[in-house]
Amino acid sequence: IDAVPFQHQAQALLEFAKALDADCKSLDRRLPVAESARAFAVQHQPREKYAVLISPASSHSQRNWHADGYARVADHIQEHCERPVILVGGPSVQERQLGEAIEASMQTTPVNLIGKDTLSELLAMLERAACLITPDSGPAHLAASFGTPVVGLYAATWARRSGPLGSLEHCVDEYPTAARRFMNTEPEGLRWGRRIERPGVMDLISVDQVIARLSPLL
């Protein structure tokens, strides 16, 4: 397949399908969701498309935003937007600890489901949510596959390459700033896909930036 400069990685993968003359114009990216999982989502989100989900952790810890930032955004959602906030994530020690740190930093109280749901139940939660806040992570793409808006938090990686399709305009993308500050170059001067997983890189994202992206969605 031909290389396309600065192409989103999902579109790059589709080039293989195009080379095989597969139809790529009417793709349905939604994953199947069991009705039992939808019942779990209804239990925790009685009102459809109303709650805001936060999946705070990536598999790469230096892509994660800090607990205080998540906490301040979550408080804003619950106090000023009067919408519930639900924390979701896997059962790892790191994810549980991040969720607990967010809760401890909040003035309001979220629903913390980190480590308490199955993958199928997570899909149902994402399908039913108003939107998702998350760093560069798997749940960003799962939510986007359902058409659920994603406020993606990017600095260690570039949303332009790996952000959630359909929600790139909702992402906070400080990768260009990170390239200049940590790599002393413009982002276009780096190898396509280069990660800047450095201590402090995600601190380039401010609470005000996240709220500004979130507000139109709510």
What mean pLDDT do residues 70-80 have? 98
Contact (CB, 8 A) for 195 and 156: yes
pLDDT, tens digit, for every residue of 155-197?
999 999 999 999 999 999 999 999 999 999 999 999 999 999 9
Q: Which strands, in side-by-side order, build the sheet including 85-87?
A: 111-112, 85-87, 52-54, 131-135, 150-154, 172-173
The pTM of this model reads 0.95
d(CA 206, CA 197): 18
Q: Look over the chain and give the mean of its residue pLDDT values, rounded to a whole number.
A: 96
Contact (CB, 8 A) for 14 and 165: no
Q: What is the pLDDT of residue 141?
A: 96
d(CA 150, CA 165): 9
d(CA 93, CA 88): 14
